Amino acid sequence: MLRNTSTWTCLCVIAALSSLLSGCQSPEPETPAEGSGTADAAPENSMEETETVDNDEEVAEGMSVSESGYGKTADGQAVTQFSCTNANGLRMNLITYGAIMTSFDCPDRDGKLANVTLSCPDIAGWEACGSYFGATVGRYCNRIANGQFELEGESYTLAKNNGENHLHGGLKGFDKVIWNGEAVETDEGVGVVFTYTSADGEEGYPGELSVKATYMLNNKDELSIEFEATTDKATPVNLTNHNYWNLAGAGSGTIHDQELKLNSSFYLAVNDSLIPTGDLLEVENTPFDFVDFHKIGERIEQAGGDPIGYDHCYVIDRGEADGMVTAAVVRDPASGRVMEITTTQPGIQFYSGNFLDGTPGSGGFPQYNAFCLETQHYPDSPNQEKFPTTILKPGETYSQKTVHRFSVEP
């Protein structure tokens, strides 16, 4: 049911304040910023000689990061891979193409490691994939209606790469460019700092945007993702990571029996092309209710859509809290793996892999073989005055953080 006006107004005020505190607003500018090609094989990368990064900082015990070649793009650009491990055997691989996480290995209840994200076998596979596997997505993740918006009296036209709408940054978003990558080793963890400068007018967006995406792994079995950005001209910014998760292991089958809990009482109503209508709907007594654990496939046929499934932005219940709050918990009864997500973001897009179809554009994976939980601001915010702002202005710093914590249940 539609929420009443007073509740809606209150939520919008709280969300806007939260956005001001933890989103786009910061008084001082800082330095800017679908498994394998077949569903049953782990990715095999073209590796050159690997070197361990030498760093003057003290490194956390049992942790390491190494760097290697990953081949070249079709237009001849060299791609680098970084491999990060912790003392408990967790390992993440990332590449400079799209600032993509190519794999994430973690143990089940018996200590057996498996890659739990959908991957491609090589750079050619990543270039052929149109499903944003593992990518750092921007300049604006999710959809913008009709590929247009107005800002400070100017009209801007973006690529329409999702029917009549703009999706995930356009024809060549941040997922399709080469980032600069630098390995990082500290006494708390290891990871990679990616940087990219998006030119004024790139994909139709105003302003030169300097972006930094930091991926870190620590010995608490936490994957931390931080985004920062500055601009020289007002522009919409909405960044996310687009990992496709299957806690039973990539290529192991559907995610229908994996159990999801979302810290959300409301989700955004959308039209037939998945653009928000501006209304918030209560999840209670609907197939969208994940306030308590439910199997992802339990009510998926009732979720509607074409193709059928979940592809909706949920409003994270923050109350009076600023900063990091729990957004989601997912557990796989078969393997025992558990993933908890905390974030500074106001929303989280739950996508059940509806559009996966087994083609190269889907990395060879069939429908419902993974889910996405993309922490982000709301879709189409530049055209929705009631939504928390996503406009970044000169002198401000966009800053958002999301942490995935991995564990096992008996």
What pLDDT, in 10s, does the model give residues 263-274?
999 999 999 999
Q: Where are the domains of the chain?
A: 5-408
CB distance 206 to 156 below 8 Å: yes
pLDDT > 80? residue 60: no
4 CB contacts (<8 Å, ≥6 apart)? none
Q: pLDDT band at residue 321, thresholds of 50, 70 and 90?
A: confident
Token pair recorded at residue 15 = 């969300």
Give the whole-number percent of the chain exceeding pLDDT 90. Answer: 84
Token pair recorded at residue 2 = 């539609």
pLDDT digits (tens, 9 = 90+) for 127-141: 999 999 999 999 999
Judged by DSSP in three states, 300 sits in: helix
Beta bridge partners of 362: none
Q: How many residues does the chain have?
A: 410
Task: State mean pLDDT over 146-151.
Answer: 98
In angstroms, rounded to a whole number, what is the distance separating the alpha carbons of residues 108 and 126? 27
Alpha carbon separation from 89 to 42, 63, 109, 218, 337 (Å, rounded)? 17, 9, 13, 11, 14
Token pair recorded at residue 118 = 């959908």
CB distance 170 to 204 below 8 Å: yes
Place of tokens 């859509």: 305
CB distance 119 to 363 below 8 Å: yes
Output the pLDDT for position 57: 53
pLDDT digits (tens, 9 = 90+) for 230-264: 999 999 999 999 999 999 999 999 999 999 999 99
Q: Select from 168, 349, 160 the least CA-distant residue to 268.
A: 349
CB distance 258 to 352 below 8 Å: no
Token pair recorded at residue 250 = 């990539």
Report CA Rg, the chain. Answer: 20
Torsion of CA 25, 268, 169, 159, to 10 degrees: -130
Q: Select from 233, 248, 5 the least CA-distant residue to 113.
A: 248
pLDDT > 90? residue 18: no
Task: Render the burial of 80-118: b for 16+ CB within 10 Å, e for the rest.
Answer: bbbbbbbebebbbbbbbbbbbbbbbbbbbeeeeebbbbb
In angstroms, rounded to a whole number, what is the distance separating the alpha carbons of residues 220 and 87? 9
Beta bridge partners of 224: 216, 403
Beta-strand runs (E) in 147-296: 148-151, 154-157, 166-167, 180-185, 189-198, 209-218, 222-231, 235-236, 240-241, 259-262, 266-270, 276-282, 294-295
212 CB contacts (<8 Å, ≥6 apart)? 31, 32, 33, 193, 194, 195, 226, 227, 228, 229
pLDDT digits (tens, 9 = 90+) for 388-407: 999 999 999 999 999 999 99
Token pair recorded at residue 255 = 């995610």
Output the pLDDT for position 23: 42
Output the pLDDT for position 106: 97
Output the pLDDT for position 43: 38
pLDDT > 50? residue 47: no
Q: Select from 120, 51, 106, 59 the least CA-distant residue to 80.
A: 51
Which residues belong to the active site? 242, 374
pLDDT digits (tens, 9 = 90+) for 165-193: 999 999 999 999 999 999 999 999 999 99
pLDDT digits (tens, 9 = 90+) for 360-382: 999 999 999 999 999 999 999 99
Place of tokens 């790469």: 161
Class of domain 5-408: mainly beta
Task: State mean pLDDT over 35-57.
Answer: 41
In angstroms, rounded to a whole number, what is the distance separating the alpha carbons of residues 23 and 44? 38
